[in-house]
Amino acid sequence: MSAVVFDRVSKRYGAMTAVDNVSFEIAAGTLVTLLGPSGCGKTTTLRLIAGLEHANSGRILIGGIDVTALSPAERDVSMVFQSYALFPHLSVLDNVCYGLRSTHVPKRQAVEQAMARLDLVGLTGLEHRLPSELSGGQQQRVALARAMVLEPKVLLFDEPLSNLDARLRRRVRDDIRGLQQSLGLTVVYVTHDQSEALAISDRIIVMNNARIAQDSTPRALYETPADRFVVDFMGEASILPVQVTAVDGDIAQVRFGEATLSLPRRGLDIGEAELAIRPHTVHLSADSDGLRGTIRRAVYGGDHMEYDVTISGFEETVFVVDTNVAAPLASGRTVGVTFSPLGLSLLPAATPP
């Protein structure tokens, strides 16, 4: 059974629609990420699950129960806030016990359970500190323990790593994923950082303009993005106009300048289309294999080179990242351009605005 079901849910603030007719299901025991730029509706979606916002239309089910009209306290969910929202006047232990005491768990039992969670997140010995006496990473783990101690059906994370420095971010991310997998938790996770989403998720729901842009596994999202927005959002990519000349089953023959490529068809028909090219997929060589290109700009990046390349027959430049730092190619020279097929994806032609 799905742990969370969103059934045609909409949320409006006055004339502004924050979530527009969104439907999805989240399977129990999985970690699903809501990903998108700021203002895309991902946080509102999370708050709708939490019950901190109420939908204007549609139904929300948690554990098979319709919770659309219920208050946060009546739903079996917990949340880790972006600011952690630790109560500054309560000790670490009292913070973790707070939810248990709200539900009238006897004091001794509450303390026992809280200590078990604090142990789980590695904070034993700090339970009498005030939140202000902990480091950012420790505060993060208190917030996690506080949310987990209620053993909710669904655990919600609202950009939990945004207040941590870059090195700590990767460690806490792996900790969260580890706990989620070993305890079999259902987690809904909001972030705007695509690499964080790719690393942590079983499934990613990309949102844009209050709607779902794509809902798939991390790998499918990166390799077969649904549209230009998803391509752009999931990382650097150059987009060039191409022609689909023939289709055969799932394969399309694509004329790309002077070359012809065979690519997954992705529902396209013969005619105009676009090709998204990831920077790592392009190989430049000093001899003239493949297409002919000209280096327009070369930038040294430490462990890699960055090039802007124009391919003959196109005005647009293609952004290329090359790990060959030993023999860099000079700006202005002509090169041969070849591709590995994994980082190329066909997109429908952009509709003129």
Which parts of 125-154 interact with other proteins (CB under 8 A)?
Answer: 125-126, 128-130, 133, 138, 146-147, 150
Shortest distance in whole angstroms from residue 13 CB to other proteins? 11
Cα–chain center distance at 305: 27
The answer to whether 13 contacts other proteins (rule: CB under 8 A) is no
Region of 18-26, 96-104, 223-231, 298-306 interacting with other proteins (CB under 8 A): 96-104
* Distances 337 to 20, 121, 264, 284, 312 between C-alpha atoms, Å: 43, 50, 21, 5, 10
Q: Which of 98, 56, 47 is nearest to 75 (CA)?
A: 47
Shortest distance in whole angstroms from residue 160 CB to other proteins? 12
Binding-site member from 5, 22, 123, 205 for other proteins (CB under 8 A): 123
Tell me, by CB under 8 A, how many residues bind other proteins. 32
Which parts of 333-352 interact with other proteins (CB under 8 A)?
Answer: none
Q: Which of 36, 31, 26 is nearest to 194 (CA)?
A: 36
Is residue 181 a contact partner of residue 149, using CB atoms and an 8 Å limit?
A: no
CA distance 195 to 33: 12
The answer to whether 164 contacts other proteins (rule: CB under 8 A) is no
Shortest distance in whole angstroms from residue 207 CB to other proteins? 21
The answer to whether 83 contacts other proteins (rule: CB under 8 A) is yes
Closer by beta carbon to other proteins, 99 or else 290 = 99
Shortest distance in whole angstroms from residue 150 CB to other proteins? 7
The answer to whether 52 contacts other proteins (rule: CB under 8 A) is yes
Shortest distance in whole angstroms from residue 31 CB to other proteins? 19
The answer to whether 73 contacts other proteins (rule: CB under 8 A) is yes
Region of 9-17, 48-56, 163-171, 182-190 interacting with other proteins (CB under 8 A): 48-56
Closer by beta carbon to other proteins, 156 or else 346 = 156
Show the binding pattern over residues 282-321: x = contacts other proteins (CB under 8 A), - = does not: ----------------------------------------
Strands 203-208 and 57-62, by their bridges, are: unpaired
The answer to whether 82 contacts other proteins (rule: CB under 8 A) is yes
Residues in the chain: 353
The answer to whether 187 contacts other proteins (rule: CB under 8 A) is no
Q: Which of 216, 214, 211 is nearest to 21 (CA)?
A: 211
CA distance 329 to 308: 11
Instruction: Collect all residues with Cβ–Cβ distance below 8 Å to 222 and sequence separation of at least 6.
Output: 198, 234, 235
Closer by beta carbon to other proteins, 81 or else 319 = 81
Binding-site member from 79, 148, 212, 273 for other proteins (CB under 8 A): 79
Closer by beta carbon to other proteins, 62 or else 79 = 79
Instruction: Collect all residues with Cβ–Cβ distance below 8 Å to 42 and sequence separation of at least 6.
Output: 34, 35, 36, 190, 192, 207
Shortest distance in whole angstroms from residue 101 CB to other proteins? 9
Three-class DSSP category at 23: strand
DSSP letters along 194-222, please? HHHHHHH-SEEEEEETTEEEEEE-HHHHH
Is residue 275 a contact partner of residue 346, using CB atoms and an 8 Å limit?
A: yes
Is residue 191 a contact partner of residue 202, using CB atoms and an 8 Å limit?
A: no
Residues near other proteins (CB under 8 A): 50-52, 71-73, 77-79, 81-83, 85-89, 98-99, 102-103, 123, 125-126, 128-130, 133, 138, 146-147, 150
